[in-house]
Structure 1
Amino acid sequence: MKRRETVMLMVVGVVMAGCRAQAPMAELKMEEKAQPGLGWRAPNGRKTEAEPTAWLDQFDDEGMRRAVGEAVASSPDLKAAAARMAQAEARAVRAGAPRFPTSGLGLRTNEDWRQVVAGPGAVIRQQQSVYALNVDISWEVDVWGRVRNNANAGRANAEAAADDYAAARLSLAANTARAWCNLLEAEWQTRLGENTVASFRRNLATVDSNFDKGVPGVTALDVRFARSNLASAEANLENRKRGRDESRRVLEALMGRYPAGDVATSGRLPTLRGEIPAGLPSTLLLRRPDIAAAERRTAAALQQAKASRKALLPTFRLTGDARTISEDLAELIDTDKIIKSFVKSMTQTIFQGGALRADVKLADAQVEELAQRYASVALTAFREVETALAAGVYLEGQIAALRKFAEESKEAEKLAVSQYERGLTGILNVLESQRRAFDSQSGLIRAENQRLLNRIDLCLALGGGF
């Protein structure tokens, strides 16, 4: 009867151990003042339950989508993240292995010499092979759930690694999109710099000609001013070329290419196709992979803390052994010759110098650390969304003002050139009006790119797919 109960206990244990380990969700603990409301607080943080999806479609640029696709397919960093995910999955399998019985099979052969009577008065020595087969099975009965807690912790850590991979993939997509926009801005700034140099070169030619002709009011000082402006514009152009070259190589490296500096672009800053739904603050916790990873690590630490406490309790183990010895290899599996043994044992640690209780304190401290990090990651996510939402409003206002600035500066430049040609103003007013016109255009290009980068930041902060 006892043997049947023991066998049933082992069968039930194996079946239960075969179930997939799963660590419960960890609670997000935040102070009341840090908790979000029902909607976003930013100026354009409209309350909406729509979820952000496929954010690359917000940008009217097929080249950007191709660049992101190439980066995701070829990036060594992302492949390294995938390898880390595979490692974590293997560790999870190892952590769950103690749920199952361990078994071993041994086969041994010995060569013995023995004396054999060959006839009356005749004894000979004969070599004889002896075979031994041994099968042993051992299983720790998870009475307290310690083994299950360790398996749950391993599975939660594997899930955290999968979330890390998703976060790395999303971050790579966002960084590639940012690099694409930065390169386009650099190309526009370079073209603007080339136009500036060409304009200042024409100014210098005009001033030189007027000075040589002895036009009244045109002095050597005017020539010097025109030359210094041209030299400054040429230096600025070289700096912009350097920035364009660096932007190309950054983008190529993100795409997994050799940074040769010859990547081609669409030649224009992409336009935005409307607003992106921000969703609700509560759903952000479910979308962002970095938050999910922090939660899974906290859940794993909770399971490990439980296992540490249960390590103070007795351990129960079932051990079985079956062996047979035969001179004939074919008779090793003869059931009549099998010798069986079955042992039940209990082990209770008495003294380890306080190591086990120190493990409990260590695990509790790790839980607290990861729980606070979880809250910090969530708070950072809320900040990033709110900041990006607010920045979108301010950038729209800034761009509107810069467009007005650029229009007025262009008209002022035309007026200054017209008055200079009629002898109504000096060259300094012309140079200053041209400088302001080019500065306003440069600032407008920079602000329009900042709006694109802010939209990418918002998409990254909101999580979801791309």
Structure 2
Amino acid sequence: MKRTLFNTSALAISGLMMAVLVAGCSMKPAYERPDSTAPAAWPEQTAASQNPGVGVSISVLDWQDFVLDMELRQLVDNALEHNHDLREAVLNIEAARAQYRIQRSDRLPGIDGQAGSTSQRIPASLNGTGDSSNVTTYQVGLGVTAYELDLFGRVRDLSEAALESYFATEEAARATKISLIAGVIQAYISRAGAQERHDLTKQTFETRQVSLDIISKQRKVGSTSDLDYLEAKGLAEQAQADLEVAARELAQTDNGLALLTGVPVEQLPKPKGTDNRIIQEQLAPGLPSELLTRRPDILAAEHRLIASNANIGAARAAFYPRITLTGSFGTASGDLADLFSSGSTAWQFMPQLNLPIFNYGSNKANLNLNKVRNEISIVQYEKAIESAFREVADALVDRETFAREENARKALAESSSHSLQLSEARYRHGVDSHLRYLDAQRRDFTNQLGLIQTRTQRQIALVNLFRALGGGWDPSHTEPVASVD
């Protein structure tokens, strides 16, 4: 009897382990990457399209190599350590990784230790002895509860969908990191431009105040007209108003940079001039097709597409029978003292077949829903690609046109500065009127402001190009944000 019981229990356990090794076929559609609408080259109006290899390639350029200013590097480091958006993105990765682990665990049976007792009263009418009795049973053992044999790949497809969702979340975190790096650099450059505009406006205000004082004295002795005085007063008041605008913009850029980096405003480094070389300016855009393997948002969209494709397989498998196994192996006895004695071995094996017959069309509706979601994922993937190409093309145009505009404005500013010097000399010697001198001041101030603004915009355009090309991290020498295991 013991031999028969042992052989039967061993057979049950062996059958359970064989079921674990059953490899189900997946019913998901074969995944094919949607046809790319990537152009063969960048727009012809950009010089980069004619020489895509000129400059430093983004594929080997980490953000530390892109940022040349050491103080800016430190600010970026602070942002990567303290920024709330990036911390939230990393926590989202942890959540997605945990979700994948939960889903992956369903592919293997869970074995639990079990211990318990059962007490029941059997009435006399149901007892063979004709007397009522109280029965208590004690049990200890190992058990497997409702493990599904993945014959049609449902569990595997759900696990793959969770894994791809995890990958998509990780790519989204990388995109957040790149955007944060670009945001800090742009805030730093904007702050430098705001500081230059503030300094220029303050200098202009002080100069016009001096001119107003001189005109006021001349007016008292009758050597100048009221019109000259009013013109000088108007320019001084305009300069004071411009100074308040510049001060407001400078304070706002200070606050913006402090928020991104977590560094108090009073501890921020003193802004450098926009004519300093803060960032790497020679960037090679490479070929348009390289964006498909470099841009985190495109990679995230494709991972979501693969996940939706796997969910179709899981929805299809719901139409087919599901076999679940429940079993246990251990010892049982009516007396706690005899629980581990010879002959107390007990086992239980309960396979269950579930065949959907009538469920009001819920399985069909769920399949249709997952097919529609897959189509939505395809549209989102194609949209991500088109948006990426548009951003790069715009950034390339901005880089080139702002560079040419800066050269033109630099020449214009030099010309107006020289003109102002001549006009001032002619006014001092009585050759030109005061109105002409004031007009030269207005033109020079406007041209100098225009040069600062264009120089700032050109550097911001370079940062936009860096971000649009997927720069900021290099998989060959950068640790992943999180690991699956």
TM-score, normalised on structure 1? Answer: 0.88
Residue 91 (structure 1) aligned with residue 94 (structure 2): no
Partner of 2:389: 382
8 Å contact kept, 2:406–2:454? yes
Tell me if the contact between 1:63 and 1:266 (Cα under 8 Å) persists in the aligned partners: no
| Alignment partner, residue 124 of structure 1 | none
Per the alignment, do residues 60 and 323 of structure 1 end up closer, same or farther by CA in structure 2, a change over 3 Å counting?
Answer: closer
Q: 1:66 to 1:406 in 2, by over 3 A?
A: same
Using the TM superposition, give the Cα deviation of residue 425 of structure 1 relative to its aligned residue in structure 2, in angstroms: 1.8
Q: Which of 253, 256, 265 pairs up with 1:250?
A: 256
1:221 is the counterpart of 2:227: yes
The alignment partner of 1:223 has SS state of helix
Q: Does 1:234 align with 2:268?
A: no
State the Cα deviation string for residues 404-431 of structure 1 (Å, max 9, x = none).
1101111111121112112222221111
Instruction: Report the CA distance shift for 1:322/1:60 in structure 2 as closer, same or farther (over 3 A).
Output: closer
Which residue of structure 1 aligns with residue 323 of structure 2? Answer: 316
Q: Check conservation: 1:52, 1:278, Cα contact below 8 A.
A: no
Q: 1:201 aligns with which of 206, 209, 215?
A: 209
- Read off the aligned partner of 1:226 and give its amino acid letter: A
Is 1:53 the equivalent of 2:61? Answer: yes
Aligned residues: 444
**2:31/2:309 contact within 8 Å kept:** no
Cα separation, 1, equivalents of 2:342 and 2:293: 58
Q: Is the 8 A contact 1:25 1:295 kept in 2?
A: no
| Alignment check: 8 A CA contact 1:160 1:294 kept | yes
CA distance in structure 1 between the partners assigned to 2:227 and 2:138 by the alignment? 110
- Secondary structure, in 3 states, of the residue corresponding to 1:344? strand
2:275 aligned with 1:267, yes or no? no
Aligned match of 1:123 = none
* Alpha-carbon distance in 2 for matches of 1:335, 1:456: 78
C-alpha contact 2:117 2:138 (8 A) present in aligned 1:
yes
Residue identity opposite 1:301 in structure 2: S
CA contact (8 A) 2:191 2:250 kept: yes
Q: Which residue of 1 aligns with 2:458?
A: 451
Deviation of 1:29 (Å): 3.5
Alignment gaps of 5+ in structure 2: 1-6, 122-133, 474-485
Q: In the alignment, what sits opposite 2:108?
A: 100
Q: Offset of 1:264 from its aligned partner?
A: 2.4
Amino acid in the other structure paired with 1:298: L
Indicate whether 1:146 and 2:150 are aligned.
no
> For residues 233 and 298 of structure 1, what CA distance do their matches in structure 2 show?
57
Quote how far apart the aligned CAs of 1:89 are: 0.6
> How much has 1:309 moved relative to structure 2?
1.1
In structure 2, the partner of 1:43 is 47
Amino acid of the structure 1 residue aligned with 2:205: V
Aligned match for 2:433, one of 426, 430, 443: 426
Contact 1:180 1:251 in 2 (8 A): yes
Equivalent residue number for residue 364 of structure 2: 357
Q: Distance in 1 between matches of 2:342 and 2:402?
A: 84
Decide whether the 8 Å contact of 2:92 with 2:169 is kept in 1. Answer: yes
Instruction: State the superposition RMSD in angstroms.
Output: 2.9
Counterpart secondary structure, 2:138? strand
Measured at CA, do residues 334 and 37 of structure 1 come closer, stay the same or move farther in structure 2, by a change above 3 Å? farther
Sort the Cα spacing of 1:3 and 1:324 in 2 relative to 1 into closer, same or farther, 3 A: closer
- CA change 1:209–1:82 in 2 (3 A) is same
CA offset digits 1:155-204 (Å, max 9, x no partner): 00011111111111111111011111111111111100111101111211
- Tell whether 2:76 aligns with 1:73: no
**Residue 284 (structure 2) pairs with residue 277 (structure 1):** yes
Q: Tell me, yes or no, if the aligned pair for 1:23 and 1:299 is still in contact at 8 Å.
A: no
CA contact (8 A) 2:96 2:169 kept: yes
Change (3 A) 1:212 1:26: farther
Q: Deviations over 1:304-349 (max 9, x none)?
A: 0111011111112222233533355564345631222323322111
Q: Residue 158 of structure 1 aligns with which residue?
A: 166
* C-alpha distance after superposition, 1:73-131 (max 9, x if no partner): 11111111111110011111112222111333332247899xxxxxxxxxxxxx99863
Higher mean Cα deviation, 206-215 or 228-237? Answer: 206-215
1:133 has 2:140 as partner: yes
SS where residue 339 of structure 1 aligns?
Answer: strand
Mapped to 2, the partners of 1:4 and 1:136 lie a distance apart of: 14
Identity %: 26
Q: Does 382-391 or 223-232 show the bigger shift?
A: 382-391
Contact 2:141–2:328 under 8 Å retained in 1: yes
2:349 corresponds to: 342
CA distance 1:110–1:57, change in 2 (3 Å): closer
Q: Aligned letter for 2:204?
A: T
Change (3 A) 1:99 1:456: same
Once residues 53 and 65 of structure 2 are traced to their aligned partners in structure 1, the CA distance between those partners, rounded to angstroms, is 19
Identify if the C-alpha distance between structure 1 residues 353 and 430 changes in structure 2 by more than 3 Å, giving closer, same or farther. Answer: same
Closer, same or farther: CA 13–111 of 1 in aligned 2, 3 Å: closer
The answer on 1:463 being equivalent to 2:456 is: no
Q: Could you say what secondary structure the match of 1:342 adopts?
A: strand
User: Could you tell me how far 1:450 is from its partner in structure 2?
Assistant: 0.8
Following superposition, the deviation at residue 387 of structure 1 comes to: 1.1
Q: In the alignment, which residue of structure 1 is the partner of 2:178?
A: 170
Task: Give the aligned partner of residue 187 of structure 1.
Answer: 195
SS of the counterpart of 2:327?
strand
Deviations 1:130-154 (CA, angstroms, capped at 9, x unpaired): 6322543142111111110000000
Q: Deviations over 1:371-423 (max 9, x none)?
A: 11011011111111111112111011100110111011111111211121122
Counterpart-to-counterpart distance in 1, 2:459 and 2:190: 10
Partners of 2:53 and 2:342 lie apart in 1 by: 72
- Give the aligned residue type for 1:28: P
